[in-house]
Structure 1
Amino acid sequence: MRSRSRATVAALALVVAGGGMARAQQVPNDQPINVSNDTIVLDELSFTVSKTPQRLIDTLGGVSQVTQADIDRAQPSTVSDLLRTVPGVSTQVSSNDPAQSINIRGLQDFGRVNVLVDGARQDFQVSGHNANGSFYLDPEFINNIDIVRGPISNIYGSGAIGGVASFTTRGIDSILAPGERWGVEQKVGVSSNGLGAFTSTSAGYRYGDIADIYGQFLYRDQGDYRDGSGDRVRDSGSNNFGGLFKFNYHPGDGQTVSLSALSQKFDYSNFGTSDEGSRWRNNVVTSTFTAGYKFESPDNPLMNFNSKVYYSQTDYHQTLVAPDATYAALGAVPGDKLFDRIGTFGFDVYNTSRFTTGAFNHTLTYGFDAAFDRVTTEDHAGGYVSALTPSGDRHLLGAYVQDEVRYGDWLRVQGGLRFDNYGLSGGGYSSSGNHLSPKITVGVTPIKGIELYGTYAEGYRAPSITETLIAGTHPFPAFDIMPNPNLRPEVGHNFEAGTNLKFDNVFRQGDSFRGKLTGFVNNVDDYIDQANVEPGTLVCFIPGLPLNICQNIPGATGVLPAIQYVNIARARLMGVELEGAYDWGGGFVSMAGSHTNGKNLDTDLPLNTVAPNKVSGTLGLRFLEDRLTVGSRVTLVGATSKRVDTPSGGYGLVDVFASYKYNDNVSANFAIDNLFDRRYRAFLDSANSPGLAAKFSLTVKLAGK
């Protein structure tokens, strides 16, 4: 029976192994791996699904995490570098703008993926030919990333019908080990292929058990990179200067008062979101401020109180350098400026109570949250920004309750309910609405190490300011874009089923296997998308030429329909995701995969934002008493023609990496991305991705007790 069990688990490992990379200490054969220290990533803790600490392998849903070890190995220059192997996740990146946009299960833009930085919403959006919802964050500020796929985490704020991407920034524990009182860390990195260099300086101090303080400063400079054919990708360079500050104060047992501030300034030049036309100099300043209070009573399990208030803001400044014919015809001259700002004030207050009723153990979480968006645009260079990214205000209010009930060690039931209310105004229009979103999950463990679960959860996304209020004329060719104050909110109805696999001591004492397999169907009512509406507008196809003259030139005019955001009756997204890892102490192997289909049920046409199939695998080996780790990562992406304007062929990438830890204070990382210099373009991206790039970083720390 023992050999049959091992063979079964081995087969499951080959089928389900995936996603996150694995980490484990080399241990003697008679000792299990200490999962609280250096672990398989699916044993890491996450707060994102239920707001209570839970191991990823025990979450009843599609949840992944990118850890600090993953970040060190990848040596990323963008957030997208960290997410490309996460199942069900893709990113949209413009080569001439350092902003990032996250796509989960084919849903993105306008808050369908709730992006959080230290719990603060990132709701920035500017209309153009790139993603309609993005954020700016240098990966050197990131400690870990939690990804929740689907609307199973609706207690984390309104709108997340696609999922949640929660970024936790570095802090005092990033540079100080337990028992250390002070520390200074210097990290420098250089990369080939135009990806430039960075320097990061961090310092921290612990005032006993009373308080701690952490600060970090970063400068990154990147030039234009070349794709796999050696062609330079124009305007792909930028520079960033940023700072991070955190302070924690512990006034009593179980109490923490926390403050944080993150600010970044990005500078770059481009030809706008279409990569042609007028040339602009861009300056983006993004800031996130948080203040929180937490009290976990050491004597009362009914009290685990958390509250956070935050403000996030993105200022997007553009200065005209060289106008094209369209802008020149409107009187725009070099030096004219555009300005776009979104500020979001929000808070989240909740409590978790743990108690028992008979044979049932309860973890009850209840609270309320709010977010207030204010968009302000000014345009002194043509008027397009103020029309296409309109000013306005929106509020999102919510209240929620969720109870996880456990019966013995074989049954878990999670039931939740969220109430959402929104209001939106601007440009003489207004809209509002509310909704109740239920959630029910049942998890059963028929055999130790195997947990089966099923979920029904709803998500509610209010229309954004831009979708509702956009009103103006597109630059050449000049067609109209119309507002729609009658837009209805989107409602996602998500059905999900999955299996969690957790086995230790499979082939030898101390090894571990973790795996997650998830299937889902997400039916979205009143999905919002752009559509052509009548009547059309007679336009001139010759830039800068007046219409009355253009009409006398054969073929120089035509009728273009207006564009408007409208509700599609129904959209359906369905797919399967798998991930897992096997770690035997001397090394690890992991794989991940995802397949998603999405279509408009009214027209039976595919949705343009559904990413192609993806499979990735990583193999790592440890040497020199675990001080040296070497390995390789393979990523295979399928072909797609869903976006008729930018179809992409399938491609495969091979990366290699090595990490060496000389001692607790000195470490180095080396990596080569796209080892075979493959020419490819990632799904939805505006230009070809980088070819071969070699990366090296060195970290030196001084610390004392």
Structure 2
Amino acid sequence: MRTQTSLRALMAVIAVAPTLAGPAFAQDTDTSDFGDYIGVVTLGESRRGIQTDTATSETIITQEELDARQASTLAELLGTIPGVTLSNAATPQGSSINIRGLGADAGTYGSNTKVAVVIDGVAKGQEEIYRQGSILTMEPELFKTVKVIRGPGESFRFSGGAIGGTVDAVTKDASDFLEDGDTFSIRQKLSYESNGDGFMSSSIVAWAPDDKLEVLGFYGYRSSGDYTDGSGSTEADTAYEMPSAMLKLKYNATDELSFTASVSKTQNRLEDVSYDFIGSSFDARVDADIEDTTAYAQFQYNPSDNDLINLTGKLTYSDELISNISDTTSSTIYNADNRTERLSLSFENEAVFATGAADHTVLTGVEIGKRTRTSISDTDSNASASPGGTDEFIAVYATDEIVIGNLTLTPQLRFEKQKITSEGNDSIADGTTYEKDSTVGALSSRYRLGENFAVFGTLAYNENMPIIDDLSNAFIETSEKATTIELGASYDTVDVFQTGDSVKAKLTAFKTRIWDNTTYYDSTYSYENIKLEGIEFEASYANAAFYMDFNASRIRGEWETGEYFNNAPSDAAQLTVGKHFLEDQLNLAIEVLHAWSNERTTSTSGATAASESYTVAGLTAAYIPDSGLAHGVEFRASLDNLFDRDYQPYLSSRSAPGRNLTLSVTKIF
């Protein structure tokens, strides 16, 4: 019955929306402009094109794809990238990201510094704090692009310890909603989800009174009840209520000098949930109020007559607060207000010049800042399990992209120095300090073999320095080290089987070795060295009639003892087939994901217990009429887990949602 109801609702949207478009629906179908299709797509594939022009393993999710996927969480946006695995991604609380087996410690910690997350250049998620340390709570409607870098690649601009990868997200601007000559617009979006009876409203006001000033105001509200899995069982602690807001201003003083300021805030209000949000490690129930504030002010000076200067100065602030209220007094952590604040000032310059036959693009930067961590409990001091203190740091970095004919070399270097100081801890004296520094870097190369083929490789060295969480243990004096080797090849061509079609493919193999590990532990609670290796493959084919996208990943991990490293994800592959109709007004796509069973684990329960294979499918329809009464309105529908499959992904602590129909309507006034 649920299948029939969902399919009928999906078909109703497809059938009713075109009648509002008037005569446009009767026009002959023209599929000549296939490249503008914006339906649900596989990330990193033909919708944006596989990134074949770089040695970095990266995916750029555009605004069109963000709209098409209709994700409820930032984590959901990343789930179809090869090498990226999510834990509990169906909810903003407790969701976490794993890239190439690193990042979230499934079932225990929500984040760690092996995966860096940056929002508008503001670093997020610096501490662990069990599952409550997750940094994926922010409202996805805030973003216009999200770039995911797999491996250390280009991460040294932001972090020296991002061994797994980097998520770099950029929020919307007023100019994104103003066409030439417009000074004011309002964008309203309403959305409904059947599984959990979810509702979302997103309101954007864009104003540009002249060519110098532009202002964007955003307010969003999202709520959902507990979702049901494929067997019909209700998954506890998955309900949420999430209001969000953002104000962004940009002022172009001259053609060369501009100023930008932005502040955004997202809340997630939870009642009577497990302390870790997923119920796997704690029996205590809490009321939790999660607040995330991100703000920055910057100037950019880019004189048109000097290629050596493109200077950006930026003051950034991040505040991540989790307020807990519990009836129990058995542990201070259940009533602790966990807070991590980060304030930094940075200057960055990009210079373009040539030396003989070599063209250089040199990026240099310096950042100085301070993190402050507190977890004040009902004892008026920090909870012993999550110590408080400050982390003062300074970093200097440089990258040079050198192009010599068909060869591109990119050396990167970063030096960072930190001082961690204990504050407000019962067992650690105030003023106790620990200092550490690191010098890390990478060398990437790419060589073009003719017009279509290229080979590439990267050698990187990372150091993940101690965090404030380590004040309560001996790891406070240890930096984790890692080396990563990447090798790969890419292919990019057009007019293969017919005029105007295109084929793209990229194959990347990597091997990572981590020593002095302080984050993960094996079955005997020993902290050993870790070895990871894997392969990622992306391919796409597109012509005027349809497109096919495919990606797959295979990752293996083990301790130096030969024991399985349980955080290595399952093998997975994904295929997307899509087509557009009615002169690009109607877009339809089907997406199929298969994950193989995984018995490469020493765990017998929880997120890292052996998992079964599963195959899930989804459908998406997007109708955007270009004339008639509904001109300028976007109608979207997506049906996830089409066959209501009951499954639990490896590295997830709970079963995935069952069938879910999402309907949305968007209009710009």
What interval of TM-score do these two structures reach, taking the shorter chain for normalisation? 0.7 to 0.9
How far the C-alpha of 1:514 sits from its partner, in A, is: 2.4
Q: CA deviation at 1:313?
A: 0.5
User: What is aligned with 1:279?
Assistant: 285
- For the residues of structure 2 that align with 1:135 and 1:240, how far apart are their CA atoms? 13
Q: 1:96: how far off?
A: 7.4
> Once the 2 structures are TM-superposed, how far is the Cα of residue 382 of structure 1 from its aligned partner?
11
Give 2:404's match in structure 1, choosing from 404, 407, 419: 407
Residues 1:486 and 1:199: Cα distance change in structure 2 (over 3 Å): closer
1:681 is aligned to 648
State the distance in 2 between where 1:584 and 1:144 align. Answer: 25
**Residue in 1 aligned with 2:420?**
424
> Where do residues 212-611 of structure 1 align in structure 2 (5 Å cutoff)?
212-269=214-271, 270-273=273-276, 275=279, 277-320=283-326, 322-323=327-328, 327=329, 337-380=335-378, 386-408=383-405, 410-426=406-422, 427-428=428-429, 429-466=432-469, 468-470=470-472, 483-485=473-475, 487-529=477-519, 568=528, 570-601=529-560, 603-611=561-569
CA separation in 1, counterparts of 2:349 and 2:75?
A: 34
User: Which residue among 73, 77, 82 is the counterpart of 2:72?
Assistant: 77
Shift of residue 286 of structure 1?
0.9
Q: Within 2, Cα distance between the matches of 1:381 and 1:588? A: 60
Q: Secondary structure at the match of 1:230?
A: coil
SS in 2 for 1:387: coil
Q: CA deviation at 1:265?
A: 1.4
Cα distance in 1 between the residues matched to 2:224 and 2:42: 33
Moved more, 69-78 or 256-265: 69-78
> Does the 8 Å contact 2:415/2:440 carry over to 1?
yes
Give 1:628 shift.
Answer: 0.4
Q: How does 1:178-193 map to 2 (within 5 A)?
A: 178-193=180-195
- Indicate the larger mover: 693-702 or 202-211: 202-211
Cα distance in 1 for residues equivalent to 2:66 and 2:449: 36
What is the CA RMSD across the aligned residues, in angstroms? 3.0
Separation in structure 1 between the aligned mates of residue 91 and residue 644 of structure 2, nearest angstrom? 21
SS in 2 for 1:652: strand
Structure 1 partner of 2:149: 148
- After superposition, give the CA deviation of every residue in 1:402-421 in whole Å (9 maximum; x if it has no partner): 2111122x111112222122
Q: Deviations over 1:533-583 (max 9, x none)?
A: 9xxxxxxxxxxxxxxxxxxxxxxxxxxx9x7xx753x32111111123222
Judge conservation of contact 2:580–2:587 (CA < 8 Å) in 1.
yes
1:34 to partner: Cα distance: 8.7
Q: CA deviation at 1:507?
A: 2.7
Stretches of structure 2 that go unaligned for 5 or more consecutive residues are 1-28, 104-110, 423-427
Could you report, residue by residue, the CA deviation over 1:566-611 in whole angstroms, capped at 9, with x for unpaired residues?
Answer: 753x32111111123222243321111111111211x222222211
Query: Do the aligned partners of residues 33 and 591 (structure 1) sit closer, same or farther apart at CA in structure 2, a change above 3 Å counting?
Result: closer
CA distance in 1, matches of 2:194, 2:478: 48
**Distance (Å, rounded) in 2 between the aligned partners of 1:33 and 1:698:** 23
Q: Is the deviation greater in 59-68 or in 225-234?
A: 59-68
Change (3 A) 1:41 1:450: farther
Deviation at 1:485, TM superposition (A): 4.9
Deviation at 1:197, TM superposition (A): 0.5
Tell me which amino acid in the other structure corresponds to 1:69: E
User: Letter of the aligned partner of 1:80 in structure 2?
Assistant: A
- SS of residue in 1 equivalent to 2:336: strand
- Tell whether the 8 Å contact from 1:331 to 1:382 is kept in structure 2 after alignment: no
Could you tell me which amino acid in structure 2 is paired with residue 147 of structure 1? V
Paired amino acid for 2:417? N
* 8 Å CA contact 2:351, 2:361 repeated in 1: yes
Q: Compared with structure 1, are the counterparts of its residues 581 and 532 closer, same or farther at alpha carbon in structure 2 (3 Å cutoff)?
A: closer
Distance of aligned partners of 1:351 and 1:390 in 2 relative to their CA distance in 1, 3 Å threshold: same
State the 1:56 CA deviation: 3.2
Give the 3 Å change call, closer, same or farther, for CA 423–591 of structure 1 in structure 2. Answer: same
Amino acid at match of 1:60: A
Is the CA contact 1:151–1:492 (under 8 Å) kept in the aligned structure 2? no
The AA in structure 2 aligned to 1:694 is L
Pair 1:670 & 2:637 matched: yes
SS of equivalent to 1:57: coil
Query: CA deviation digits over 1:360-411, x for unaligned, max 9?
Result: 111111112244211111111899x711111111133221122111122x11
Give the SS at the match of 2:67. Answer: helix
Gaps of 5+ in 1: 1-25, 47-53, 471-482, 534-560
The two structures have a TM-score, normalised by structure 2, of 0.85
1:68 aligns with 63
Cα deviation, residue 198, structure 1: 0.7
What amino acid sits opposite 1:607 in the alignment? F
Contact 2:639 2:660 in 1 (8 A): yes
Q: CA–CA distance in 1 between the matches of 2:92 and 2:208? A: 38
Letter in 1 for 2:513: N
The alpha-carbon distance between structure 1 residues 668 and 33, as it changes in their structure 2 partners (threshold 3 A), is: closer
Give the drift of 1:352. 1.2
Kept after mapping to 1: 8 A contact 2:321/2:339? yes
Structure 1 pair 510–195 and aligned structure 2 pair: CA distance change class (3 A):
farther
Q: Give the distance between the partners of 1:40 and 1:618, measured in 2 at CA.
A: 6
Is the contact made by 1:96 and 1:235 (CA closer than 8 Å) also made in structure 2?
Answer: no
Q: Is the 8 A contact 2:257 2:300 kept in 1?
A: yes
* DSSP 3-state at the match of 2:141: helix
CA contact 2:436–2:477 (8 Å) conserved in 1: no
User: Separation in 1 of the partners of 2:197 and 2:457?
Assistant: 44
In the TM superposition, residue 32 of structure 1 has moved relative to its aligned partner by: 10
AA aligned to 1:589 is: M
Preserved contact between residue 581 and residue 589 of structure 1 (Cα < 8 Å): yes
State the secondary structure of the residue aligned to 2:157.
helix
Give the superposition deviation at 1:486.
5.0
Name the one with the larger strand percent.
1
Q: Could you tell me which residue of structure 2 aligns to residue 636 of structure 1?
A: 594
Asked if the contact 2:332–2:383 (Cα under 8 Å) also holds between the matched residues in 1, the reply is no
Deviation of 1:41 after TM superposition, in Å, equals 7.4
Contact 1:95 1:233 in 2 (8 A): no
> Secondary structure at 1:121's aligned position in 2?
strand
Structure 1 residues 251 and 62: alpha-carbon distance in aligned structure 2, compared to 1, 3 A threshold: same
Q: Secondary structure at the match of 1:605?
A: coil
Measured after TM superposition, the shift of residue 673 of structure 1 is 0.4
Aligned mate of 1:208, from 207, 210, 220? 210
How much has 1:637 moved relative to structure 2?
1.1
Evaluate the alpha carbon distance shift between residue 45 and residue 250 of structure 1 in structure 2; reply closer, same or farther with a 3 A threshold.
farther
Q: Distance in 2 between matches of 1:192 and 1:32?
A: 31
Per the TM alignment, residue 436 of structure 1 is displaced from its structure 2 partner at its CA by: 1.9
SS of the counterpart of 1:71? helix
Q: Letter of the aligned partner of 2:496 in structure 1?
A: V
Contact 1:32 1:510 in 2 (8 A): no
CA distance in 2, matches of 1:135, 1:41: 18
- Do 2:34 and 2:544's aligned partners in 1 also have CA atoms closer than 8 Å? no
Compute the displacement of 1:212 (Å). Answer: 0.7
- Equivalent residue for 1:645? 605
C-alpha contact (below 8 Å) 1:27/1:33 kept by paired residues: no
Match of 1:699 in 2: 666
Please say if residues 653 and 675 of structure 1, whose CA atoms lie closer than 8 Å, have aligned partners that are also in contact. Answer: yes
Counterpart in the other structure of 1:197: 199
Please report how far the alpha carbon of residue 303 of structure 1 lies from its aligned counterpart in structure 2 after TM superposition.
Answer: 1.3
Q: Secondary structure at the match of 1:70?
A: helix
Shift of 1:143: 1.3
Question: Structure 1 residues 280, 592: CA separation in 2 closer, same or farther (over 3 Å shift)?
Answer: same
Cα offset for 1:77? Answer: 1.2
2:510 & 2:181 partners in 1: Cα distance? Answer: 45
